[in-house]
Structure 1
Amino acid sequence: MGALAAERHRIVVIGGGPGGYESAIAGAQLGADVTLVERVGVGGSAVLTDVVPSKTLIATAEAATQVQSSDELGLQYFVRDDADNPRRPEMAVNLGKLNQRILRLAQNQSDDMRLNLKDRGVRIVEGLGRIAAPGVVSVSTGENGQEFDRIEYDTLVVSVGASPRELPTAKPDGDRILTWKQLYNLQETPEHLIVVGSGVTGAEFASAYRALGIKVTLVSSRDRVLPGEDKDAADVIEEVFKRNGMNVLSKTRAESVVVDGDEVVVTLSDGAEVRGSHCLMAVGSVPNTNGLGLERAGVKTTDSGHIIVNRVAGTSVPNIYAAGDCTNFFPLASVASTQGRTAVFHALGDEVHPITLRNVASNVFTYPEIATVGWQEKDIEEGKRTGRVYKLDLAQNPRAKMQGFRDGFVKLIAGNNLGTIVGGVVVAPRASELLLALSIAIEQRVTVDEFASSWAVYPSLSGSMVDAARDMHVRDA
């Protein structure tokens, strides 16, 4: 057995987030000798401090939204006072209890992932992994800690993730000025949360905390929130934000954030000041590649420190791969997972499907959600691709009326000639669950007529996607 084990392909994975986890699973599945090195816990930041916690928070916010809109559906809640008169109760958020649940669920997910790895024979080493020399990973107890292990590899997968970007004029203190990793340490509900940054992270947290009844001010340096998303979708979200009482400050940048007693003071680029109880800094992220030893192995990076990879997650060094937010690819957990699997399949000679970024599905977990896949309307407008765009508002959908929401739409993008579906946007509650049909249609090159021949349940939100496809039918000449 010893001789056979020594001949097994040795894979070392640095980082146990979605990319590293899937790399290890794939390696074990294909019979390799796999070692995973992780310093914060299996699942990495995505599970312990980022994706899983934030979406758990958002799930509570969705429940709060449903409670607040229940009156429109004919449901009324009341309590009786001492005189037996009905009184409308107020909804309160126990943030300490909510954050305990968030961290507990994150840890449970991490524990489940660790157990799955061990069941598959993956060796897990807790520590900070670095490239000591080509073919060798060094493991230490921390940044300046003592080395306690050296592991040789045939293939290395680097999946070390990224950390919140910090501005020198707005240093997080973990108390009043916070990164998204520090939010879950709060025990008391903020009286007024100022969110700096209106990208996906900023918009998601602003949406969730406002739904929980917290006063929120969103500072956006651009002319609208979510500048990277479909314009019509972003306009819907901004309208909902403002209707729900959020203060949205557009075209202004936060120059500095300081603590003043029990308040934070955000100074804007026009000299104005905004005061609140807490400030969330959501101004991007930086890859955790500094000090990793990439230069020792000859791995090329961008000026920002992101590892340059190709469509099979390969780096500039043949036996070193990289996955996730530390790469110059697409910073999504689903992409990281696919990169991780693809890297190992490629390294071990299994069948590989290079990742097509154009077909990646993504979602913004605001309320309502924005789900997108494929080519977008701006691509058509900018001449990057020819095609037709059709938008159908969900306000016409009977299921939407039953559920009591009116904000959202379905947008399809199809080719001019054959009518092949090449892109789409869905704005709706749980749009992330509705998008799969469009994602499959794009991967399988389905036309709008073929999609329109599918059977959608009546009534259903997905029925609007079929209706949109029907409306895009063009009679043959």
Structure 2
Amino acid sequence: MEIDHRYDVIVIGTGPGGEGAAMQAVKEGKDVAVVERYMRIGGGCTHWGTIPSKALRYAIFKLTEFNKNPLFRNVTGGLHITFPELRKGASSVIDQQVAMRRGFYDRNGVDVLSGHGRFLDTNTIEVLEENGIRKVCAADAFVIATGSRPFRHPEVDFNHPRVYDSDTILGLNSTPRSITIFGAGVIGCEYASMFRNLGCKVNLVNGRDKLLEFLDDEIIDALSYHLRDRGVIIRHRESLDHVEPLDDGVITHLKSGKKLKTDVLLWAAGRQGNTEDLGLENIDIEPNRRGQIEINEHMQTKHEHIYAVGDVIGVPSLASAAYVQGRFAMNHLISHEPDLSLLKDIPTGIYTSPEISSLGRTERELTEAGIPYEVGQSMFKSLARAQITNTTVGMLKILFHRDTLELLGIHCFGQNASEIIHIGQAIMSQEGSANSLEYFMNTTFNYPTMAEAYRVAALNGYNRLF
């Protein structure tokens, strides 16, 4: 077999996981190439997932904020902007992200191979370009970072113009009056918030007992309350019987006998790893039923020189985690002594309205483990900054050890929760006595700020000890 080019490392996929791996490897002096099957780099995160959905969320938030302001509402009678018009704002952000990330590869001398990558054996891949040209490349190590896509139920007709998944929903050509969202995971809850803020009637169908059961119970309750308070109808413990698409809408038939007719259906029930036609059968790797690849604690597959990172390995399925996993994998390849702290305490960011961010253990987990903990709370309605900005819905919750004051968990619900969490993350990452509730009690925070919530919560919790 004739080899067109040899590299030290080949990364398949240019999303966050692939980028993290490529940049770490090239900084360590490795000759690196990345393979991208689409015309533009960035992966699903940039083009169909995180960036466009969060840009859309921001546009909807600003529209809602404008229309809630009595001054503007009285003058204009309120703005009415359609879903496609709101979606346009994301295109410029995507263009900027693509240009920036392409610059990373160009400046660092990383070859970008455009085409579909496929393993021929454990040290060789072929890259098939759109024009039919085939390149064969070899490497000492590989990183599979092909990401994921929405899981599609085989009995649901996704070709129908009123049936969408979380990728295709961004191409919605009008604002629906009503929507059923089947699947109440992170994506389902985020879109439920967005469509309700647009004034749509929303059915959120959940197969479990609670929303987002991995979160702290108090945060789950707060999310459920505020979604319902906004008018979202949440239906727990439901399963699908069948979907009936019509010319004027979609009827979602549930096994409980309920029939939910809405303008459109958004299917948001899970993700599927992008492992088809990767030639994994040629290297004796078999993905699970959701197309995900099994790895060990070092991000290695069954072959020690072939790593897998990001959504293609499953949970936590976060862009932030994928980037870190890519760096970790290359640290392990190069030094064999990677920094394990890279994979520890990765915060969860959920962009509902309001936002949720969580780090560390929940009350449920600490109780089950028999750990003596205490709770410190700060309600946003009591913070001057929240009152000034009219973002009083929410709270910061700190869980800490009663005896040592060690921080065990931080949970935030409210405006900018995904930013606020990082203050707590910085302290939780410290070793020994530096990871302590006392930091927040004894640190001067700017006033008025949302960061002040840490001092309020710390004092609230410390006072519970006496």
Query: Structure 1, residues 387-416: CA drift from partner, whole Å, max 9, x if none?
Result: 223333222222222222332111111123
The corresponding residue for 2:46 is 47
The corresponding residue for 2:69 is 70
Matches within 5 A, 1:382-461: 382-383=368-369, 385-445=371-431, 446-461=435-450
CA distance in 2, matches of 1:475, 1:262: 57
CA distance in 2, matches of 1:119, 1:385: 50
CA distance in 2, matches of 1:475, 1:279: 48
Report the alpha carbon displacement of residue 363 of structure 1 after superposing the two structures with TM: 1.0
> Structure 1: any 5+ residue segments left out of the alignment?
1-5, 80-87
Query: Structure 1, residues 245-295: CA drift from partner, whole Å, max 9, x if none?
Result: 222223323322221112111112221211111111100101112332234
Contact 1:13 1:20 in 2 (8 A): yes
Report the alpha carbon displacement of residue 200 of structure 1 after superposing the two structures with TM: 0.5
Relative to structure 1, the CA distance from residue 250 to residue 68 in structure 2 (aligned partners, 3 Å threshold; closer, same or farther) is farther
Q: Partner of 1:103: helix, strand, or coil?
A: helix
Relative to structure 1, the CA distance from residue 384 to residue 49 in structure 2 (aligned partners, 3 Å threshold; closer, same or farther) is farther
The corresponding residue for 2:305 is 319
Report the alpha carbon displacement of residue 357 of structure 1 after superposing the two structures with TM: 4.9
Higher helix share: 2
Output the aligned Cα RMSD: 2.3
Matches within 5 A, 1:73-88: 75-79=71-75
Relative to structure 1, the CA distance from residue 317 to residue 184 in structure 2 (aligned partners, 3 Å threshold; closer, same or farther) is same
Q: Partner of 1:359: helix, strand, or coil?
A: coil
Q: Does 1:204 align with 2:190?
A: yes
Contact 1:174 1:182 in 2 (8 A): no
The corresponding residue for 1:281 is 267
Report the alpha carbon displacement of residue 328 of structure 1 after superposing the two structures with TM: 4.1
Greater displacement, 310-319 / 281-290: 310-319
Q: Which residue identity does 1:21 align to in structure 2?
A: E
Matches within 5 A, 1:248-397: 248-299=234-285, 301-302=287-288, 304-349=290-335, 352-355=338-341, 357-383=343-369, 385-397=371-383
Q: Does 1:222 align with 2:222?
A: no
Contact 2:250 2:261 in 1 (8 A): yes
The corresponding residue for 1:129 is 117
Relative to structure 1, the CA distance from residue 303 to residue 213 in structure 2 (aligned partners, 3 Å threshold; closer, same or farther) is closer
CA distance in 2, matches of 1:96, 1:475: 51
Q: Does 1:56 align with 2:55?
A: yes
Query: Structure 1, residues 411-445: CA drift from partner, whole Å, max 9, x if none?
Result: 11112321111211011101011010111111014
Relative to structure 1, the CA distance from residue 147 to residue 354 in structure 2 (aligned partners, 3 Å threshold; closer, same or farther) is farther
Q: Which residue identity does 2:10 align to in structure 1?
A: V
CA distance in 2, matches of 1:448, 1:355: 21
Contact 1:300 1:316 in 2 (8 A): no
Q: Does 1:237 align with 2:223?
A: yes
The corresponding residue for 1:119 is 107
Report the alpha carbon displacement of residue 384 of structure 1 after superposing the two structures with TM: 6.5
Report the alpha carbon displacement of residue 193 of structure 1 after superposing the two structures with TM: 1.6
TM-score, normalization: structure 2? 0.92
Q: Partner of 2:340: helix, strand, or coil?
A: coil
Contact 2:377 2:461 in 1 (8 A): no
Q: Partner of 1:259: helix, strand, or coil?
A: strand
Greater displacement, 370-379 / 21-30: 21-30
Greater displacement, 410-419 / 93-102: 93-102
Report the alpha carbon displacement of residue 303 of structure 1 after superposing the two structures with TM: 5.0
Match of 1:31 among 29, 32, 36: 29
CA distance in 2, matches of 1:206, 1:301: 31
TM-score, normalization: structure 1? 0.90
Q: Partner of 1:223: helix, strand, or coil?
A: coil
CA distance in 2, matches of 1:104, 1:89: 29
Query: Structure 1, residues 132-157: CA drift from partner, whole Å, max 9, x if none?
Result: 11200111247xx9560111001101
Query: Structure 1, residues 170-222: CA drift from partner, whole Å, max 9, x if none?
Result: 23226210011101212211121211111110000110111122222212223
Q: Which residue identity does 1:458 align to in structure 2?
A: Y
Matches within 5 A, 1:138-157: 138-141=126-129, 148-157=134-143
The corresponding residue for 2:94 is 106
Relative to structure 1, the CA distance from residue 284 to residue 251 in structure 2 (aligned partners, 3 Å threshold; closer, same or farther) is same
Contact 1:389 1:414 in 2 (8 A): yes
Relative to structure 1, the CA distance from residue 173 to residue 303 in structure 2 (aligned partners, 3 Å threshold; closer, same or farther) is closer
CA distance in 2, matches of 1:391, 1:474: 11
Q: Partner of 1:280: helix, strand, or coil?
A: strand
Report the alpha carbon displacement of residue 224 of structure 1 after superposing the two structures with TM: 3.2
CA distance in 1, matches of 2:370, 2:282: 40
Q: Partner of 1:222: helix, strand, or coil?
A: coil
Contact 1:178 1:281 in 2 (8 A): yes
Q: Which residue identity does 1:123 align to in structure 2?
A: D
Give the length in aligned residue pairs.
458
CA distance in 2, matches of 1:228, 1:177: 28
